[in-house]
Amino acid sequence: MHDAPSQKEMIAAVKAFIDDTAMPNLKGHAAFHARVASNVLATVLRELEIRPLAENDERERLSSLLNADQNMTISELNLKLCELLRQGELGLDTPGLLEHLKTTTIAQLSIDQPNYSGLPSD
């Protein structure tokens, strides 16, 4: 299959159209939604960059935290983690749990809201 233009190039082209052409011609509510649309495309571009590696790391951490079968998918692993947390089998005192959740959430925010005030400021 072809990738000229690539996903990234196509999204960047649409984002540039919104920013440089559409937005200056819109007013009020429509201009607001255009800005949101541009931000969503920026999120997608960050996700294409960050997610593959971050999700792979997340899967490895989850496997070792849950001592799980290597064949489990990331959504199966997260579902399992949720069950164990809900039942109280895992909690704040579980070694490695907070570190895992924090690393995962920071990676998620580096896609979703990279300037959020709750992120560590180092």
Partner 1 sequence: MGVPRDCDKMGRQDDILKGLQDWAGQFYGSGATVERLVRLSGGASQETWSLDVEHSGIVDELILRRVPGGVSVARNSEAIDLGTEAKLLGCAEHTVPTPKVLKVFDPSSEIGEAFLMNRIAGQTIARKILRDDVYENARQCLTAQCGKALSGIHAIPIERLPTLPKSGGLDQLAKYETIYRGFDIPRPVFELTMAWLKKNQPQPVDPVLVHGDFRLGNLIVNEHGLAAVLDWELAHLGDPREDIAWLCVNSWRFGQSQNRVGGFGHLNELLDAYEASGGQNFAADQIDWWEILGSLKWGIMCMIMYEAFRSGSDPSVERAAIGRRVSETEIDLLNLLETRA
Q: Which residues touch 114 (CB under 8 Å, ≥6 apart)?
A: 46
Cβ closer to partner 1: 23 or 101?
A: 101
| Site for partner 1 contains 96 (CB under 8 A) | no
Cβ closer to partner 1: 3 or 73?
A: 73
**Torsion 25-29-34-35 (CA) sign:** positive
Of 20, 25, 56, 55, give the one whose Cα is nearest residue 38: 20
Q: For the beta carbon of residue 41, count every other beta carbon within 10 angstroms.
A: 17
| Site for partner 1 contains 117 (CB under 8 A) | yes
Span 14-43, contacts to partner 1 by CB under 8 A: 32-33, 36-37, 39-40, 43
Burial of 87 from C-beta contacts in 10 A (0-12 / 13-18 / 19+):
exposed
| Site for partner 1 contains 13 (CB under 8 A) | no
What is the binding site for partner 1 (CB under 8 A)? 32-33, 36-37, 39-40, 43, 78-79, 81-82, 85-86, 88, 91-93, 97-98, 101-102, 104-106, 108-109, 111-113, 116-119
